[in-house]
C-alpha cells in the first residue's frame, strides 16, 4: 500500500511560478533550501537552515544566492542570540580513575585503542581531554576511534609520515564533528569519505590553476568545496581561471569565485553552456576610448591602422577604375 503523503494539516503548498523558477535554476540545493524555508513559513534564519540541513557556509551561501537570483529569497529574520555554549566540566584525576575501574564502561578499551593509534601513553591531561569527548560530547567510542584515525591521517598528509596530532587538536575536531551531527558510525564514515573526495579534488583543482607542491589552505579548500557542490568540472574551472587572469592579471580566488557563482546562478556548468549563455560581448571602442594596454597592444593597434588604410586605398582604386570605364 502506498504511503499517504498528503496528511491533513501537513500539506506545504508551492506556487507554480516558484516551482518553474526552481526548475529553471537547475540547483537541487536551492530547491531543498526553498522547501525547508517554505516548511518554516519563512520564519527561520539562515543559521538555522544550515544547522537543519547540515550544510557548511559555502554550500548554504551558494543555494541562497540562487534563490536571490530567482527572486525567491524571503526577508530573513535575524537569528535570535544564541546562549553561550555550555563549557565541559573540569574532570579530576579521580573521575578518570573511577571510569577506568568501571567494568561496565567502554572507556578503558577506548583509552587503549587511542594510545595504540597515537603511538604513546596518554598523560592525565590527555585522558581528561579524551573523557571530555566520551562523557561531555557523548560521542560513541567507535566514532572517537574514527575521529582519531582521521586526525592522524590529516597530520601525516600535511606534515609527513610519523607526525601525530595532539589531543587538543583532536578535541577541536571533535567539537566540529558534534556540531555537524557526525555522531554515529554511518555519519562518520560518510563525513570521512566526503573529506577524502574533497582532498583529491583539491589537488586536481590546484593543478588546473598551476599551483603545485603544496596542499590547499583553508580558504582555498572552502572555495573548491563550493565549486564542487555547484557541479563544475575541470574545463569550466579552467575557463573561469583564464577569465580571472585576463581581468586581474593575476589569480584572484574571490574574483574567480564570483564568476563561477554567476554561472551557477544562470544554470551554466558545461563549457558549451557557458560559451552560449555567458559569451563576453564584443564592444566597439568609441572615439574617446583609451588606447589598448598590455603586451602587444601597440603592435595590434598598428596592424589595425594599416588594415584600415589598405581598405581605403583599395576602395579608392575600385572607384577610380569604375569611373574610367
pLDDT value at 131 more than 50: yes
3-class SS shares of the chain: helix, strand, coil, % to 5: 65, 0, 35
Alpha-carbon distance 39 to 278, whole Å? 34
Average pLDDT over residues 125-143: 96
Q: pLDDT band at 279, cuts 50/70/90? A: low
Alpha-carbon distance 195 to 201, whole Å? 10
Q: pLDDT band at 159, cuts 50/70/90? A: confident
Cell of 71: 527572486
pLDDT value at 304 more than 90: no
Please give the pLDDT value at position 299: 38
Of 209, 220, 217, the C-alpha closest to 158 is: 217
Average pLDDT over residues 169-197: 93
Alpha-carbon distance 173 to 73, whole Å? 33
Phi-psi bin for 182: left (phi > 0), alpha (psi -120 to 50), beta?
A: beta
pLDDT value at 93 more than 90: yes
Please give the pLDDT value at position 247: 92
Please give the pLDDT value at position 6: 39
Q: pLDDT band at 167, cuts 50/70/90? A: very high
Give the percent of the chain with pLDDT over 70.
75
Please give the pLDDT value at position 89: 92
Q: pLDDT band at 311, cuts 50/70/90? A: low
What mean pLDDT is reported for the chain? 80
Please give the pLDDT value at position 26: 83
Burial profile 278-292: b = 16 or more Cβ within 10 angstroms, e = fewer? eeeeeeeeeeeeeee
Q: 106: how many CB neighbours lie within 10 A of its CB?
A: 14
Alpha-carbon distance 314 to 130, whole Å? 87
Average pLDDT over residues 114-130: 96
Please give the pLDDT value at position 39: 74
Average pLDDT over residues 53-77: 71
Give the percent of the chain with pLDDT over 90.
49
Give the tens place of pLDDT for each residue, 21-35.
888 888 888 888 888
Cell of 161: 609520515
Average pLDDT over residues 255-260: 94
Give the tens place of pLDDT for each residue, 203-248.
999 999 999 888 888 889 899 999 998 999 999 999 999 999 999 9
Amino acid at each position: 500500500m502506498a504511503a499517504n503523503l498528503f496528511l491533513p494539516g501537513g500539506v506545504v503548498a508551492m506556487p507554480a511560478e516558484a516551482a518553474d523558477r526552481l526548475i529553471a535554476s537547475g540547483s537541487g540545493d536551492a530547491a531543498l533550501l526553498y522547501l525547508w524555508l517554505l516548511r518554516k513559513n519563512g520564519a527561520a534564519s539562515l543559521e538555522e537552515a544550515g544547522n537543519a540541513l547540515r550544510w557548511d557556509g559555502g554550500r548554504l551561501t551558494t543555494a541562497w544566492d540562487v534563490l536571490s537570483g530567482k527572486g525567491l529569497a524571503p526577508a530573513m529574520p535575524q537569528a535570535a542570540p544564541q546562549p553561550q555554549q555550555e563549557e565541559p566540566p573540569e574532570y579530576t584525576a579521580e573521575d578518570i580513575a573511577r571510569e577506568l575501574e568501571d567494568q561496565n564502561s567502554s572507556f578503558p578499551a577506548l583509552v587503549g585503542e587511542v594510545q595504540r593509534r597515537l603511538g604513546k601513553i596518554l598523560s592525565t591531561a590527555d585522558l581528561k581531554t579524551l573523557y571530555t569527548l566520551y562523557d561531555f560530547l557523548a560521542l560513541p567510542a567507535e566514532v572517537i576511534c574514527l575521529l582519531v584515525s582521521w586526525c592522524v591521517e590529516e597530520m601525516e598528509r600535511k606534515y609527513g609520515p610519523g607526525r601525530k596530532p595532539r589531543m587538543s587538536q583532536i578535541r577541536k575536531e571533535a567539537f566540529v564533528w558534534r556540531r555537524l551531527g557526525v555522531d554515529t558510525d554511518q555519519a562518520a564514515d560518510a563525513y570521512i569519505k566526503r573529506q577524502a573526495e574533497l582532498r583529491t579534488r583539491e589537488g586536481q583543482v590546484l593543478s588546473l590553476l598551476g599551483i603545485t607542491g603544496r596542499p590547499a589552505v583553508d580558504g582555498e579548500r572552502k572555495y573548491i568545496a563550493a565549486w564542487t557542490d555547484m557541479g563544475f568540472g575541470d574545463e569550466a574551472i579552467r575557463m573561469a581561471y583564464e577569465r580571472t587572469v585576463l581581468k586581474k592579471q593575476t589569480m584572484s580566488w574571490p574574483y574567480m569565485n564570483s564568476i563561477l557563482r554567476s554561472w551557477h546562478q544562470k544554470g551554466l556548468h558545461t563549457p558549451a553552456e557557458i560559451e552560449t549563455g555567458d559569451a563576453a560581448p564584443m564592444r566597439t571602442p568609441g572615439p574617446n576610448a583609451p588606447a589598448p594596454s598590455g603586451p602587444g597592444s601597440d603592435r595590434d593597434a598598428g596592424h589595425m591602422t594599416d588594415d584600415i588604410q589598405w581598405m581605403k586605398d583599395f576602395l579608392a582604386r575600385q572607384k577610380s577604375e569604375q569611373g574610367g570605364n
